[in-house]
């Protein structure tokens, strides 16, 4: 679970920096942005997460419950 949380934190920090202009936007950042926009769990997160077919919002709420 810690690996998943580190992946989420790192990728969101990179995306924020890319969107604010501090970093160049990469293809990985673009795909992350599109996944968030379309309410899908990003592929890098799915690789480290438990299997689920839930939308991003429901999946993230479930993740928070699992971490508490």
Each residue of 7-53: pLDDT tens digit?
999 999 999 999 999 999 999 999 999 999 999 999 999 999 989 99
Q: Quick one: pLDDT at residue 40?
A: 96
Contacts for 7 with CB less than 8 Å, ≥ 6 apart: 44, 45, 48
pLDDT the model gives residue 28 = 95
**What pLDDT is attached to residue 1?**
86
Q: Record the pTM.
A: 0.88
- Dihedrals φ, ψ of 22, to 5°? -75, -25
Query: Backbone phi, then psi, for 4, in 5-degree steps?
Result: -65, -45
Tokens of 33: 């942005």
């Amino acid at each position: 679970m810690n690996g998943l949380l580190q992946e989420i934190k790192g990728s969101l920090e990179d995306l924020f920096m890319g969107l604010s202009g501090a970093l160049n936007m990469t293809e990985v950042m673009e795909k992350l942005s599109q996944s968030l926009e379309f309410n899908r769990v990003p592929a890098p997160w799915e690789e480290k997460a438990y299997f689920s077919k839930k939308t991003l919002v429901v999946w993230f709420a479930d993740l928070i419950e699992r971490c508490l």
